[in-house]
Structure 1
Amino acid sequence: MRQLSLFAAALAAACVAALVPTLAAAGVGFQHFNIPDPKGGAPLEVGVWYPTASSGKPQPLELYTQTVAPDAPVRGHGHVLIVMSHGHGGSYAGHHDTAEALAEAGFVAASVTHNGDSWKDSSRATHLEDRPYQLEVLTNYMLDRWPGHDRLATDRIGAFGFSAGGFTVLTLAGGEPDLSTLKDHCRERPAFTDCQIVAAAKFDFTAPRVWTHDPRVKAVVSASPAIGFAFGKAGLAKITAKVQLWRGEDDPVLPNPFYAEAVRKDLPVPPEMHVIPHMGHYEFLAPCPPAMTRAEPEICAHEDGFDPVAFHARFKKDVVRFFRAALKAPGNDGRSRPG
């Protein structure tokens, strides 16, 4: 009888343990739409990932596939907003796996395709002042006009960016870059990717630019930020947001020490820094599916021994942890307010 009781107790415990992930798990809702530019420019393409009680199904997303519930109702209240900025020539979809992880954790992640610097149109790629402005437009829309805006917390916002997007979110958080520094940088390093872009665009190093800042941004994840050297200590002095900074040890596009390392040294408060061995640049994008590998082999290539799937499992976990701690955000594990 005692053995039977122990068996029954163990079986009950196993059943409870098996049920916990099911009960705690939340689906990911997804919306894709355009929002107006208040200055009269072309509409901005947006993707939004958010918690939902609905089950997801595999759905195409450009060259990717994601498991989401399109247009499902938002689950819960008080979700912290994370706005996302892609790299040069990318789109809102490039970090969908990170956005899904944020939504699973109880955040609402909203990503914009930057007009003039996407795979569809790169005609304004060197007009870097457009980018933080467009991210602020996205933030305002999400807080004021998105159908689920009443489900969002309004007192703290996070920003995530990669490459040119990493530069964008640092600027949005208060950074003031001096783009005239590009002139000497590129005179000495003409083969660098940023210098090739500048040369092709016949860049005006002295053109006046107005940079958009948003004091609502309280935490920033910047992965391999472009032209980090252009900030300097003075240009980063007004950043009060907490910063998590990432770079690949073997990044050939934005090589050390001119970009992420320059930002790390000059931030007024030391960031949470991550340097990933044997990693290049584009591995911060969601792992490439076969269709993308065929279409973009250079972007999808990586060093032998580097596992992009394993890296992204760690990356997503650390990004969620950082935003949750920095923004005092509740989790999607039963502590969020349902409804």
Structure 2
Amino acid sequence: MNTFTSKLRSAATAIGTTIALTLAGTCVHAAGFQRGFAADPDGKPLEIGIWYPSEATARPVTMGPTTMSVAVDGPVQGKALPLVVMSHGNGGSFLGHYDTAIALADAGFVVAAVTHTGDNYADQSRSTDVMDRPRHMSRVIDHMLSAWDGRGTIDAARIGMFGFSSGGFTTLVSIGGVPDFSTIGSMCRQYPGDFACQLIAKSGGNVTAPHTSATARAADPRIKAAVVAAPALGFAFSPDGLANVRVPVQLWRAENDLILPHPRYAEAVRLALPDARQMLDYRVVPNAGHYDFLVPCSSALASIAPAICSSAPGFDRTAFHASFNAAVVGFFSKTLGVGSHT
């Protein structure tokens, strides 16, 4: 393992094990929180974190080294609430975007974030089996609608998805995207330093590539809107591959993304999405790096994982997340609406 990959693995481990909460703004509703598992008939149970609006008192809660101000097992407040499911990046966990999840819960959404089996901070044994991930998200939706104790408060007609990096790829497939895996070989021969190419090379040079028909079946028609941040394997999506995307998309790119460099990833997705301007909200974050989409780092995390915590000089990740979370909440509020809190 080379030094760069080793540092990234350490960073991925740290994001799953050492996250300190930073919240900005005043919450109208407390965020209730539960931790659980969703059944996956084709694999191990999927660990999930669930945030939702609650009138219970929020208190600091520690899970290992992670501290959040939430109302654990507080009653769900509201009815007909929209649901947003979240998919993390390579080597992450359900905690990787908890500040965004809390912001959504504060605004009246139920949020379910998964820890992908085989591609998380503790286990990357299937990190290149990227087509496992959309199935995971469908199983999480199944769980939230049929098994979660608060399922009666969810409006099954209003479901959105958020994904970062590998989770961005997962989101694109989940809303109808069909990647062309045959593009990976030539791209990685030309740009072997890209993180995705290094990950593939480390795994033996292969990405599990199902038949196109199976890939198309990975789409989940229940998802009605999507936020995609710094999507991995963006170059694998041609206009034909994204022709079946029929839901609004908010697409984010970090201007100085050195992990998934411009223009091969987010920009490639922007160019390939159907030409319907009202369906695409495209945002480029000046001076931001790839990891700036992750939660702002605590001093403890920064000391352990500087690779994912170091921002460009003058870039304030905490201030960015205040605006990022507001934009994500605003997008889902516009596209899905917000349920009643009465």
TM over 0.5: yes
Q: Is the 8 A contact 2:30 2:54 kept in 1?
A: yes
Q: Is the 8 A contact 1:64 1:288 kept in 2?
A: no
Of residues 209, 214, 222, the one that matches 1:216 is 222
Q: CA deviation at 1:231?
A: 1.0
1:253 paired residue number:
259
Within 2, Cα distance between the matches of 1:313 and 1:204?
38
Of residues 310, 313, 331, the one that matches 1:301 is 310
Superposed counterparts of 1:90-239, under 5 Å: 90-204=92-206, 207-209=209-211, 210-211=214-215, 212-239=218-245
1:5 paired residue number:
none
Of residues 249, 263, 270, the one that matches 2:269 is 263
| Unaligned residue ranges in structure 1 (runs of 5+) | 1-20, 331-335
Identity %: 48
SS at match of 2:250: strand
Within 1, Cα distance between the matches of 2:65 and 2:88?
16
Going from structure 1 to structure 2, the CA distance change for 1:297 and 1:206 (only over 3 Å counts) comes to closer
Within 1, Cα distance between the matches of 2:84 and 2:225?
9
Of residues 302, 316, 331, the one that matches 1:322 is 331
- 1:119 aligned partner, one-letter code: Y
Deviations 1:293-334 (A, max 9, x none): 12211110111100011000000000000000011334xxxx
| Unaligned residue ranges in structure 2 (runs of 5+) | 1-24
Within 1, Cα distance between the matches of 2:209 and 2:99?
37
Q: Is the 8 A contact 1:219 1:323 kept in 2?
A: yes
Q: CA deviation at 1:123?
A: 0.6
Within 2, Cα distance between the matches of 1:237 and 1:62?
44
SS at match of 2:240: helix
1:73 paired residue number:
75
The alignment of Structure 1 onto Structure 2 pairs a total of residues equal to: 311
Within 2, Cα distance between the matches of 1:178 and 1:62?
40
Within 2, Cα distance between the matches of 1:267 and 1:285?
25
Q: CA deviation at 1:62?
A: 5.1
Q: Is the 8 A contact 1:37 1:137 kept in 2?
A: yes
Within 2, Cα distance between the matches of 1:247 and 1:205?
24
1:37 paired residue number:
40
Q: CA deviation at 1:25?
A: 2.1
Q: Is the 8 A contact 1:85 1:162 kept in 2?
A: yes
User: Which structure has the larger Rg?
Assistant: 1
Within 1, Cα distance between the matches of 2:117 and 2:293?
21
2:22 paired residue number:
none
SS at match of 1:134: helix
Q: Is the 8 A contact 2:177 2:237 kept in 1?
A: yes
- 1:222 aligned partner, one-letter code: V
Of residues 51, 54, 67, the one that matches 2:53 is 51
SS at match of 1:140: helix
Q: Is the 8 A contact 1:162 1:224 kept in 2?
A: yes
2:62 paired residue number:
60
Give runs of ≥4 in structure 1 deviating > 2 Å. 60-65, 203-211
TM-score (norm 1): 0.89
Deviations 1:15-59 (A, max 9, x none): xxxxxx99x8211100011222122x2111000000011010112
- 1:28 aligned partner, one-letter code: A
Going from structure 1 to structure 2, the CA distance change for 1:60 and 1:290 (only over 3 Å counts) comes to farther
SS at match of 1:233: coil
Q: CA deviation at 1:149?
A: 0.3
1:12 paired residue number:
none
1:6 paired residue number:
none
**Could you say what the CA RMSD is over the residues aligned between the two structures, in angstroms?**
1.5
Within 1, Cα distance between the matches of 2:251 and 2:67?
27
Q: Is the 8 A contact 1:63 1:291 kept in 2?
A: no
Going from structure 1 to structure 2, the CA distance change for 1:261 and 1:74 (only over 3 Å counts) comes to same
